[in-house]
Chains A and B, each alone.
Chain A
């Protein structure tokens, strides 16, 4: 049994090592959620359009992203983006692009299910009122669909926040990396890994409780 030295758990540890990583993890989560929802909505609309020229590329993209380990997707983008644009790219930017592209595939499945959960009668009513496809989607279907999707979106965002730790593969400075560097510098890796696990747990556990409350509220209103 070894004894733990927790004396270095203090504010300095937080401001010097953790804060920068935490901010990057949050930034990555927020950008990937927003970007993922925007692009995911387009992917979902493509898949529901009924036009083969739109359905097949979107389906292929979503299925490909969902069948590759996220670590490999991160590595792929880190390899391919510099090849395509002809100059090196930072790990942070590469991670952001990767997560938006990756999450778009997952959010598109949520959006697709959400759109399909809106009763057909709503679409027919919109058409009967003379709305175009775009108006119908924007004014009638999507507002209702997104309301139903809020809890699922939030659950996916919690998973996304956990997944951001995988940018470890390309060495980006995220929350986990912050703890790791702190552990190396203080020479106490064991304590910092425990603290890292506790930090992630507190954040994700709290958020999942919040989601459950929101879920209950949305369910009652419906």
Chain B
């Protein structure tokens, strides 16, 4: 079975070959029909937008919730925060991502009316962000708990408040430790963004389904989409590796051995 990549240069309107493959995207062909390649690139842009926004939400919320789960027991308010963050993690970890997307898209806007003004891809990003934040929180918590307890004790001995010891002692080390697991969670988020098809965000998976039906060149379409997902996830992997390298504290964490912190 030979692959026919010519399908990407066909018009999405009438199926005829267009003059310039990138016609609409770069404005090469004046008033030309958009090709499947144009559509594919736009869909990729949607995937990156949904995943990027979701990742920002997930990283911020995940770091906050993971930190709160490790708060020392200093009174009622700290106990309340620990319980709250634990409930957060359990709630968003135990509901499938597709169901959460439906909740954010169909259910929550009827209760929280301002959400109705948001474009639908925002709602998917929020769903993805909250879902992933529960997983990131678990990694952050594990990272904080992997620190030797002497670190926290030393901070207390220096007279730092809880907030200060997190800000200056615990988090700078813990957030570096969790970069590798956060990398795989970020790649998962890109893969999970494919559920946005279910609420008609015009991203890669929806493109794959619709273009497959229109052109009956499913294999070529799916190959391109799969390659773009892999490329996106791989790029995130490289960026995170770069961050890990740049943020490394000399003498502490090495790429080969995350447990070297125990020194």
Interface residues of A (CB under 8 A from B): 1-2, 67-72, 75-76, 79-80, 83, 162-163, 165-166, 168-169, 176, 189-190, 193-194, 196-197, 200-201, 204-205, 208
- The chain B residue sitting closest to A209, CB to CB, is B90
Asked if A69 contacts B191 (CB within 8 A), the reply is yes
> A68-B226, A72-B226, A190-B107 are known contacts. Are A201 and B205 too (CB-CB below 8 A)?
no
Describe B's contact surface by its main secondary structure. helix
Binding stretch for chain A, among B36-44, B98-106, B159-167: B98-106
Answer yes or no: B144 CB below 8 A from chain A CBs: no
Most A CB contacts (10 A, CB to CB) among B94, B192, B193 go to B94
Q: Which of B99, B193, B208, B234 contacts A193 (CB 8 A)?
A: B99
Residues of A within 8 Å of B95, CB to CB, are 162, 197, 200-201, 204
Asked if A200 contacts B195 (CB within 8 A), the reply is no
Asked if B98 contacts A193 (CB within 8 A), the reply is no
Q: Which of B90, B91, B99, B205 contacts A72 (CB 8 A)?
A: B205
Answer yes or no: B233 CB below 8 A from chain A CBs: yes
Asked if A75 contacts B208 (CB within 8 A), the reply is yes
- The chain B residue sitting closest to A63, CB to CB, is B230
Contacts A67-B187, A71-B205, A169-B198 known; 16 new A-B pairs at CB < 8 A: A2-B111, A67-B234, A69-B192, A69-B193, A72-B226, A72-B229, A79-B222, A162-B94, A162-B95, A168-B198, A169-B197, A169-B205, A169-B209, A193-B99, A193-B103, A204-B95
Asked if A71 contacts B212 (CB within 8 A), the reply is no
Asked if B230 contacts A200 (CB within 8 A), the reply is no
- The chain A residue sitting closest to B234, CB to CB, is A67
Asked if A189 contacts B106 (CB within 8 A), the reply is yes
Residues of A within 8 Å of B96, CB to CB, are 162-163, 165-166, 176, 200
Asked if A193 contacts B102 (CB within 8 A), the reply is yes
Asked if A76 contacts B205 (CB within 8 A), the reply is no
> A2-B110, A67-B230, A197-B103 are known contacts. Are A72 and B98 too (CB-CB below 8 A)?
no
- The chain A residue sitting closest to B111, CB to CB, is A1
A79 to B225, CA, bound (A): 14
Asked if A75 contacts B106 (CB within 8 A), the reply is no
CB distance from B144 to the nearest CB of A (A): 20
Answer yes or no: B52 CB below 8 A from chain A CBs: no
A108 to B205, CA, bound (A): 27
